[in-house]
Amino acid sequence: MLDNFDNFKKVWDSDPLIVLDTNVFLRLYSQSPDVINQYIEILRSAKDKIWYQHKLFKSLKITIQKSMVEIPLNTRYS
């Protein structure tokens, strides 16, 4: 296990670029508010290493608009 952490630390310390796609954000819809807040804090802490494609926001907007019709109001968090 320590080897995995050491490998992760080497990569993290090398100043990697993190590229997120739409699914990363869409999964938040099935999470509790506490998990969403933790996720947002993690993203904020790594904001200098994250890159978002413009296409991500367009895709996210379209998917959210479609899902608003499909998701019942009484949907529970997992």
Instruction: Give the integer Cα–Cα distance in Å for 15 and 73.
Output: 42
Would the pLDDT of 1 be above 70?
no
Predicted local confidence at residue 2, as pLDDT: 58
Would the pLDDT of 29 be above 80?
no
Q: What is the mean pLDDT of residues 5-14?
A: 85
Share of the chain above pLDDT 70, in %: 83
The three-class DSSP label of residue 45 is helix
Predicted local confidence at residue 37, as pLDDT: 92
Q: What is the mean pLDDT of residues 2-29?
A: 83
Would the pLDDT of 44 be above 70?
yes
| Phi, psi dihedral angles at 19 (to 5 degrees) | -110, 120
